[in-house]
Amino acid sequence: MVISFSLALLLGVVLVVMIRGGSIKWGPAIVAILFGFSLASTGAADPIRDFLESIGNSIGAVDDSISSVGPVDNPVDPTGP
């Protein structure tokens, strides 16, 4: 649930930036928001949620594997040649 809230917040910020930047006007933005709400009430909501959750889990697994490696020793002598 944390990932879906963060994603909603991120997409909201992107939408506001696009509106303020002139990339998208208010009319299409409202249509996109209403489309998102209507899509959430259809049968497509569960597969979309599962897909986004699997992406979040994959990113978390990559982050865990990177942090479990630990610091890498630098074989180059820092004092120079």
Tokens of 27: 């009319």
Compute the distance between CA of residue 8 and CA of residue 15 in angstroms, rounded to an integer. Answer: 10
Q: What is the pLDDT of residues 36-78, one digit of tens each?
A: 888 888 888 888 888 888 888 888 888 777 766 655 555 565 5
pLDDT at 44: 84
DSSP count for the chain of H helices, then E strands: 3, 0
For the cut 80, the answer to whether the pLDDT of residue 32 exceeds it is: yes
At a CB cut-off of 8 Å and minimum separation 6, what does 56 contact?
3
Domain boundaries, the chain: 2-62
Predicted TM-score (pTM) of the model is 0.53
For the cut 80, the answer to whether the pLDDT of residue 7 exceeds it is: no
Contact 19, 26 (CB under 8 A): yes
Compute the distance between CA of residue 37 and CA of residue 46 in angstroms, rounded to an integer. Answer: 13
Local confidence band at 1 (pLDDT 50, 70, 90 cut-offs): very low
